[in-house]
Amino acid sequence: MSFGSTKWQPWVLGEEEAMEQIKAAYDLGINAFDNANSYSHGRSEIILGKAIKKYQLPRDEIVVMTKAYNTVSREDEGTLALTSKEELYKKRYVNQNGLSRKYLFEAVRHSLDRLQLDYIDLLQCHRFDPETPVSETMHALHDLVQAGLVRYIGMSSCYAWQFYKMQSYAREHGLTQFISMQNHYSPMYREEEREMMPMLKDLGVGVIPWSPLAGGYAARRWSEAVQTTVRSSGDKGTPSIIDVPWAQKVSEAIEEVAKRHSATMAQVCIAWHLSKDFMTAPIIGTTSIEKLKDAVGGLKLKLSEDDIKAIDAPYEPRRIMGHK
């Protein structure tokens, strides 16, 4: 998501810097790369594909993940994720979003072209599609796997009942089932713990959350977090993550734990995620190699029960964020 065109989002990196980030990530031991066809309207996938080819990243080792659901623009412009269906239709984007059989097959074909690959390791449904029958979506996903174009399938942010409805259909009809959920989760957003996480743990589905550092707000001191950045001024979804009265207390708790361990706040956040028994691996997105190296340092940090309780204690229920 951090790679592509500044016309899509002002904080993303261009091709040269992005490819350096990908190489640095691989050299640090990271072998899974998450993407989506709508990130920079396909430019992000193009950059990842070029990096794989340029640096000869071994295909049998790396895991390439991408998503389909949102509209991919024909122009180099801002995101269309919040654009109404009516407006999209006026621009002739009919059948170019959602989880219909037609769109999924076309989306995968275009993604493979951009990535310069023969198959996608993990195809994720970017959101739940209320307009397409679950039966159509799950059969299409299964057929993509059977055709060898996709190895595994996963889901991104949705309600627990929506995930269960899709997974149950696949299970009951002998189709390919979801192996992962990429949902919104961080010390400042834990609503997923109520139903989604227990369900995923029970079903044996991997958890690979997005925004584990709360858009960067949980990775820097509160006095710095409340200052406007390029990302916070351009990302419509991120600023509201700290728009709750107890966010400062969570930030200060993370900072205090970091001081006790002589670690950074980003490292504490990563260690906090990995302390959860339902967690597989958080997905981080950076625009700095130094911050990437810093976050990876969190893999070596082990938090005590008191550390985790201190971070968790200030949290209070909040509105759903990340999906409708």
Catalytic residue positions, numbered: 39
Task: Using the structure block, give the residue that is written with the tokens 């409708």.
Answer: 324
The residue type of 323 is H
Q: Which long-range contacts (CB under 8 A, 24 or more apart) does 191-194 make?
A: 191/317, 191/318, 191/320, 191/321
Structure tokens at 173: 């009809």
What are the C-alpha distances in Å from 173 to residues 139, 154, 167, 177, 206? 9, 17, 10, 10, 21
Rounded to whole angstroms, the Cα distance separating 91 from 102 reads: 19
Contact 96, 105 (CB under 8 A): no
Query: What residue ranges in the chain does DSSP mark as E strands?
Result: 32-34, 63-68, 120-125, 150-156, 178-182, 206-207
Burial 65-81 (b: 16+ CB within 10 A, else e): bbbbbbbbbeeeebbbe
Rounded to whole angstroms, the Cα distance separating 92 from 49 reads: 28
Rounded to whole angstroms, the Cα distance separating 192 from 173 reads: 28
